[in-house]
Amino acid sequence: MITYTVHERDSDAQDIAARAEEIIFVKEGFAWLALAFPLVWLLYHRLWIVLAGFIAIVALLEVGVMSLELNDAVAVVTTFVLSGLFALQANDLRRWSLQRKGFELVDLVSGRDRSECEQTFFTHWLTGKDMQVKAAPGKTAKRAKPAPAVREKMNTDDDDVIGLFPEPGK
């Protein structure tokens, strides 16, 4: 199973198609392309601040290896370790960048592949089924806003229970 986080800009736009086009799915876990091609991956996702930081860290490592007059094997190993650490955190850095651009985490979806995850999310989103994301400690959880036509039909007498039980007290 693959898990994706779903991000949407906080918008009250009435055009469902326009809102759906702006929704971004970010895969959870290791980013293989970020391991193999970190600079290309950063450029493709337009993560400019992260790109500048990555280049600065690589440059500092190179200067450190050269100033200590270590052999080329050490430089290769440190570069590989840095790339591996970056690939572990790449999607988290992408989520951070999306948050800076005004996107909010609205849902988590799992499925066999990306298309199944998208289908699951949009089915719930369009039908107005309740979608809740567990918030980090100290933060309020956000609800994915369903399509505007459906939003008016939703029951607003919600107790905002997060957990396994659909109603408080059960």
pTM over 0.85: no
In tens, the pLDDT along 32-55 reads 999 999 999 999 999 999 999 999
| Position 139 confidence tier, pLDDT thresholds 50, 70, 90 | low
Q: Calculate the average pLDDT of the chain.
A: 80
Alpha carbon distance 131, 120 (integer Å): 11
Summarised one tens digit per residue, pLDDT across range 85-103 is 999 999 999 999 999 999 9
Q: Which residue has the higher pLDDT, 7 or 140?
A: 7
Q: Which helix (H) or strand (E) holds 76?
A: helix 72-100
Q: Which of 135, 114, 120 is closest to 26 using CA atoms?
A: 114
C-alpha dihedral sign at 69, 73, 78, 79: positive
Whether residue 19 is predicted with pLDDT greater than 90 in this model: the reply is: no
